[in-house]
Every structure is written in C-alpha cells, then in structure tokens.
Amino acid sequence: MENFTGKLAVVTGGASGVGLAIGSALAREGAKVILTDIEAGSLESSARALIDESLDVHFKVADVSNPESMTQLASWCQSEHGPVHLLFNNAGVAPAEMLPIWETKPNDWQWAYSVNVMGVLHGIQAFVPGMLAHGEASRIINTCSGNGAFINLPSTPIYTSSKASVSSITEVLKLQLEQAEANVKVSILFPGPHTVRTKLFSAERNRPEELARDPNAPVHPISSVEDMLEMMSSMGIEMETTEPEEVASFCLAEIKKGNYWINPQNEKSEQAFKDRVDSILTRSDLPNPNIF
C-alpha cells in the first residue's frame, strides 16, 4: 500500500495518544478515517477538532472488549462508509501493577486481557471477513509492546503477558493470511523508541466498575508519563520520551514499505532482547532485562 488516498481506515483507541495521531496522519494523507474509542467525550472532541480542519474524519463509540460492539462497528462502517482497508487494533490499557504476581487480583488480569488481548481478537474477527470478501488490498496493524514481545519486565506481569499474547496472535494471523493467499497483509506496531507521551498510565479512568481495582491495593505511584520521568530521575536515570506524532509518522512510512515489523531502533532494548535470546540458545540463566 504505497499511499492512503481514498482508503478507509478504522483506528481503535482513537480518542487520544497514538491512535489519534495515526488517525490524524492518515487523514492528512488522503484517507477516510473512522476513530473509535470507549471514552465518548474525548473521542468526540478529538474527532471534531480534525473535522474542523476539513479532514475526512468520522467517529463512533465502541468497546473493543465487547465482541457485539465490534461487530456492530464493522457493520456500521460497511453500511455508512464502504469497505475497510486499514484496521488499527490500537486500544490498550495498563493496569496499576508493580506488585508480585501472587498479590495481583483476578479483576486486574480480566480487565487488561479483555482490552489488550480480546480487543485485538474482536477487531480481527469483526473486520477480517469483510476485508476478505471485498478482496481489495488491506492491512491490519496491531499495536504491541517490546515489553512482552521481546523482553518481560518483572514490574508489569499483567501488561507484559498481555502484549506477549498480542505478538503471538499477530504473527499467526500474518502466516494464516499468507497461507490463504489473501490480499490482507499484517503489521505489528511497537510505539517508541522511547516511552510515548500518552494517557496509558491513566487508563484506570476507563476501567469498568464490575472489574474494579482492589480498594485495599497500594496506591500506584505512576499515573502519567511525568510521574514516570520523576520517579526515574529520583533514581538518577534521565528517561527520553517520544511524541505520538513521531510514532504515527514512522508507522505510516513502514506500512508504505510493506513491513511486518514496525519497530524503531532502541539500542538498550535490543541488547536486552539479545541477552534473553542468548540465554535461550545457550541454556544459561535468564538475565534481568536492563533497558534503562
């Protein structure tokens, strides 16, 4: 897909952050964009700001954790806007962790997996049949994380394991579509190369009541990127950050190249991954990943 002119793109988690930046970048390159999110107010205000710029942007509230909601979204897209060519399964959450696995609660896992894992699956199941049916060149882009796909940070067992699942699902999807000789391609996006300035750390704002966090759990020290920067600075570590617009620009450039891996270079993260793989191949002790 060398350009996006006239293509219909659906972006989940599109109310802010990486999703909004991707939607904006696509629209500026001639795509028709549908932003979707569970956060209705933020979604509408973000979309209308782009519409006011005369960009071809539309929006619809949907819950990626709910298969019926995603099926309804896909039907609405088809009936109101036509065949979908680009699906960005971007919505994700990061539960307040920094606890050992044995002290986490089932609700924490169920919430994160319902969005991070099942949300991707629901997107695939809702939209791929339509892509296969219309037969035009299409692409699915699943947002993942090096934390889970390449290394496993011990401070975030829930988020890490959910993104490991996304990596496996995406890889299998790519291979299955190739075996089917489908005109639907797949990419996996790793936002970066540094911590991206998004609202991921405050994802608890959209957490459903039935999966509420344990009220007796300790207060999490990080609710924003600024909190993360301050905590790392107190440890003598100066973290770098990445803007969502930089992620979007890199992502679209890699899609045009037809790349599966959309993964910006980060020397420390890549070394940690190499150390992990080396321990697998040499049957040596698993190292603690050092990415700071």
pLDDT grade for 231, boundaries at 50, 70 and 90: confident
pLDDT in tens, 259-281: 999 999 999 999 999 999 999 99
Residue 225 in this model has a pLDDT that exceeds 90: no
Query: If you average pLDDT over every residue of the chain, what do you get?
Result: 95
Q: What letter would DSSP give residue 151?
A: B
Q: Rounded CA gap, 220 and 86, in Å?
A: 36
Tell me the CATH architecture of domain 8-266: 3-Layer(aba) Sandwich (3.40)
Mean pLDDT of 58-84: 98
**In terms of pTM, does the model score above 0.85?**
yes
pLDDT grade for 30, boundaries at 50, 70 and 90: very high
pLDDT grade for 33, boundaries at 50, 70 and 90: very high
Residue 228 in this model has a pLDDT that exceeds 80: no
Least confident of 85-94, 103-112, 230-239: 230-239
Residue 221 in this model has a pLDDT that exceeds 80: no
Residue 168 in this model has a pLDDT that exceeds 90: yes
In the three-class reduction of DSSP (H, G, I as helix; E, B as strand; rest coil), residue 36 is classed as: strand
Q: Would you state the structure tokens that stand for residue 82, as one six-digit string?
A: 């036509």
DSSP string, 83-146: ---EEEE---------S-GGG--HHHHHHHHHHHTHHHHHHHHHHHHHHHHH-S-EEEEEE--H
Strand order in the sheet with 32-37: 57-61, 32-37, 8-12, 86-89, 138-143, 184-189, 261-262
pLDDT in tens, 96-118: 888 899 999 999 999 999 999 99
Q: Rounded CA gap, 191 and 248, in Å?
A: 9
Closest by Cα among 138, 137, 160 to 149: 160
Domain ranges of the chain: 8-266
Mean pLDDT of 130-136: 98
